[in-house]
A and B are shown apart, each in its own frame.
Chain A
C-alpha cells in the first residue's frame, strides 16, 4: 500500500483538494459526544488496512476471518456492522495513523494527557472539552459516576449514572435543600446540580450498560436546553491476551453505542459529532499470547450528520519495519488534537486559532476542519 491521503471509499482516488471552507456558525444546537475507549484500541484490528502486505506477516492470528469491506484498501472488523453502514452512507469518517503526541505507552499518563491535553501528562486540572465549554459557557454531562478530566472546567458539568441501592428511594429536593448548609462549598455546588435534576425529574432508566448510556446521552443532547457535550467510557481495550474474541465483543459494544446514539438523537444527529478517543494503539506484531502490547498510532472514528464521512483520512505511514515508530508501532502521522479542535470548532462555533491557543495551548496546531465537515 502506498502513502496516501484522504481516500474516498467510493473511488479510492485521492480527494484532497477543493473541500469547501467551513462557514462559521454559532448554531446553538450543535452537540459533541466522546466515546473514550479505555485500555488502548488496536486500530489495526478495528479499521484494517487490508491491502497492506505486511499485515499478515506481522499479525495473521489477529486478523478476523471475515471483513466488512470499505474499498480495495480498507475494511472494518466484522463486529462493526452499524459503523460499516454509516460509513457507506457517508455519516462516519475513519481516521488512521493518528494519536495525541504521546509516545510513552502508559495507560494512565496517556489517558490523562489525552483528556487534559496540556504540555505533558498530569499538568492540567481541566480537560480540553471543559476548557472549550468554558469559552462559550455551556454545560456538559459525564455518563459516569465520577466526572472525568476531559469535561472538567469551570462550567457546569453534571453526571448521569443510574443508582441501584437497596433500601433507598430517590432523594427529594426538599431533603437535599435541608442538608445543603451542612455541606462544604465543594459539595454545595454539586448539591445545587442534584437539586436541579431532582426537581426536573429527569432520571428515567435504571439501565447503565454503555448502550443505555449512549441512548440516554442522545436523548439529553437532543433537548434544546440539554448539555452540549457528553462523554461515555468504554473499558476493556487493553487486549494483551486472546485479543480476537475480546476485541470483537468490545467493538460490538461500541457499534451498538454508535447506533443507539444515532437513534436516540433523532434529527439532532445532523447537528451532532461523535468521536472515539483512546490512549494509544498497539504493537503491530502479535505478542506471545495472541494479543498485542501497548503501542502508538491508532485509528479514530468521527461521525454525525454534518461529518463528511464515507472515507478514511490518513497520511498512511506503511507497516514495513522501517516505517514503524521505534520499529514496533504504527506511526502516528496526524495529530489527533487537530481532529478534536475541529470537532470543537464545529460544535462551539469558535475560531480554530482561539481553540488552538486557549484549549490546546498549541498556537501552531494544524487546522483540518474542512476535511472533516461537509
Chain B
C-alpha cells in the first residue's frame, strides 16, 4: 500500500478525518490552528436511529452547571436511602426503582454520549483531540467522579485550552470530579475546627494525601522534581478543606466559597505550610498560589512538553521538538494557545510513526463512512440504555467514562498493540458496518480517503460489504499516522 496523502495523515495525527462529504483540507496546519479558537456549540443527531438524522444542538438542560449537578448528587443520595428502606425485601423492585431514581439525577451517560458525538460529528476535531489529551492528563476515574465528569470536560478542560497552564491546573484541581476521585473530599486537617471536634468525639480524622501527591507527580512537575514526603504532606495541608461529597441545599456549609469552588474553611489547616522551600499561609488563596508555583517550575514545562510530543508527534520525540515546545512555553509564560500552536506546526514537519488510540480510530472510521454509530441523548431513555453508551470505548480499552488509574491511558504506540486489540479493530469495523446505518459505498469512502486505485481494487476483491469495510479500515493507513 502506498503512503496516504500528507494532508490526510496530518488531520489524523492532530485531529480526526473530516466526515464523508467534507473535503480533506488543502492547508491542514491552518485548518488545525483555526480550530483552537472554535467556539460553536456541538450539532449532532438527536437520535441515532436513522440513515438521515436531524442535526440539533445538544440540549442545554443536559449541561445544567456544577451546582445543579451537585444538588442532584445529594438528591440521589437521599432517594437511594429512602428507597432502600421502602423496598428492603423486594430486591428486584428495589433495583428497578434505584435505576429510575439515578436516571433522574445522574447525567453520566448523557455526558459520555456527548463526548462520543464530539468525536463523531464535531467540526473541531483538533480541539477535541487536545481536549482528550488534557482530559487524560487530568484523569478522573472513580464511579463517584463521573457524576460531574461532563461538566469537568466541558467547563474545566475545553474551556481552558487557550489560557495558561497555571489556570488549567487550578481549574482541574478544584473541580468536584477531581476532588472526589483523588479523595480530597476526605482530606481534613487535624488542627481544623472540624478536625478538633471530631477528635474530641473520638472519631477518625486526618489528612489524605492522594490528590496532593498526584498533583505533583502526574499533573505538574513529576517525580523528576525531587520533592520529599514532607512536601507532599504539606501540599495535603494546603489542599485540606477543598471538596465535599455533595451540595445539600438545606444545610450547605456556610463557608463554601461556591459550588464551583467548594472550599470548607472549618476543615482547612490553620498553620503555615512549606512546600519545596516556599511558605504558604492559611485560607483558600494558598491553593492558587501553590498551583501557580507548580506551573512555573522548569520540570513542569519539561514534563508536559514531553507528554504533548509523545502523544502527537513521536514515541521518541527529538530534542528539536521538545526544545521548540519548551521555548514556546517559556516565551509565552506557559500559555497553552501558544504551546498548542507550536505543537500543530511541528506535527506537520516532524511527525513520526504513531499508532492511534483505538477511540480515535473508531471516530475516524465512523466519520470517514458518514456513519451514525453512537447513541444520542434521545436514545438514552433509561439507566439501562445509558449503560450501553460507554460499551464501545470500554471494549476498545479507551473509555474516558470507566474506572481507571490516575496516570490515564498510555501515550506510547506499543501499549496499544496486542492480539486482542487487533481482534477488536476487526470486530468494530464489522459492527460499524452492520449497525451504523452506513449508506456510503466502499468506493466513495475510498475516494474520500484518497486510497490509491491499486489498493481500491484489492479492497473490492473482498466479497461482502462488511469485509470490504474491514479491509478498508483495519490497515496501516487507518490505524497509524
Contacts and interface: CB of A to CB of B under 8 A. Distances in A.
Contact of B417 (A106, A186, A235): A186
A187 B355 CA distance: 10
B149 to A, nearest CB: 19
20 contacts: A109-B223, A146-B420, A147-B418, A164-B395, A165-B430, A167-B430, A175-B426, A184-B476, A187-B476, A187-B479, A190-B418, A194-B423, A235-B405, A241-B183, A287-B207, A288-B188, A288-B190, A289-B204, A293-B210, A294-B213
Interface in A157-172: 158-161, 163-169, 171
Contact of A176 (B391, B426, B435): B426
Residues of A contacting B: mostly: loop
Nearest to A286: B204
Nearest to B476: A184
Size class of the B contact interface (CB-based, 8 Å): 35 or more
Contacts of B204: 61, 286, 288-290
A179 B471 contact: yes
A326 B229 contact: yes
A105 B183 CA distance: 17
Given A146-B415, A191-B422, 14 more contacts: A109-B223, A146-B421, A168-B434, A175-B426, A175-B467, A178-B471, A179-B426, A179-B471, A182-B458, A288-B206, A288-B207, A288-B208, A289-B204, A291-B208
A22 B413 CA distance: 42
Contacts of A109: 223
Given A179-B471, A240-B186, A163 B395 contact: yes
Residues of B contacting A: mostly: helix
A296 B417 CA distance: 32
Contacts of B421: 145-146, 190
A183 B470 CA distance: 12
A178 B480 CA distance: 19
Interface in A91-126: 104-109, 125
B422 A190 contact: yes
Interface in A311-350: 326, 328
Contact of A168 (B210, B407, B428): B428
Interface in B372-406: 391-392, 395, 397, 403, 405-406
A163 B420 contact: yes
Give 10 closest A-B pairs by Cβ, nearest first. Answer: A288-B206, A289-B186, A182-B475, A168-B427, A184-B476, A167-B431, A167-B435, A167-B434, A165-B427, A168-B430
B102 interface: no
Contacts of B431: 165-168
B422 A293 contact: no
Given A165-B395, A168-B434, A235-B405, A175 B206 contact: no
B338 interface: no
A24 interface: no
B434 A197 contact: no
Interface hub of B213, B403, B419, B471 (most chain A Cβ within 10 A): B419
A290 B198 CA distance: 13
B218 interface: yes
Contacts of A176: 426
B223 A106 contact: yes
Contacts of B213: 105-106, 294
B416 interface: yes
A321 to B, nearest CB: 15
Contacts of A183: 474-476, 479
B418 A146 contact: yes
A125 B413 CA distance: 12
Contacts of A106: 213, 217, 223
A174 B188 CA distance: 61
B310 to A, nearest CB: 12
A142 interface: yes
Contacts of B435: 166-167
B476 A165 contact: no
A187 B428 contact: no
Contacts of A293: 208-210
A38 B424 contact: no
A40 B414 CA distance: 25
A193 interface: yes
B94 interface: no
B205 interface: yes
A144 B397 CA distance: 10
B148 interface: no
B206 A287 contact: yes
A171 B423 contact: yes
B420 A289 contact: no
Contacts of A186: 355, 413, 417
Interface hub of A161, A288, A291 (most chain B Cβ within 10 A): A288
A38 B395 contact: no
B462 A178 contact: yes
Interface hub of A109, A193, A194 (most chain B Cβ within 10 A): A194
Interface in B115-161: none
Contacts of A187: 417, 422, 476, 479
A326 to B, nearest CB: 6
A83 B201 CA distance: 38
A169 B430 contact: yes
A181 B186 CA distance: 54
Interface hub of B207, B229, B406 (most chain A Cβ within 10 A): B229
Interface string B192-230: 000100000000111111100100011000010000010
B223 A104 contact: yes
B266 to A, nearest CB: 14
Contacts of A107: 405-407
A241 B455 CA distance: 56
Contacts of A181: 1
Contacts of B1: 181-182
B419 A165 contact: no
Contacts of B416: 146
B419 A197 contact: yes
Nearest to A236: B403
Interface in B226-250: 229
Contacts of B458: 182
Contact of A288 (B187, B428, B467, B476): B187
Interface hub of A164, A165, A178, A197 (most chain B Cβ within 10 A): A165
A159 B420 contact: yes
B251 to A, nearest CB: 21
Interface hub of B186, B195, B205, B422 (most chain A Cβ within 10 A): B422
A164 B391 contact: yes
Nearest to B464: A175
B423 A163 contact: yes
A179 B479 CA distance: 13
Given A168-B430, A235-B405, A288-B188, A194 B422 contact: yes
B49 to A, nearest CB: 14
A199 B106 CA distance: 45
A179 B223 contact: no
Contacts of B205: 288
Contacts of A294: 213
Interface in B412-450: 413-424, 426-428, 430-431, 434-435
B183 A163 contact: no
Contact of B427 (A158, A163, A328): A163
Contacts of B471: 178-179, 182
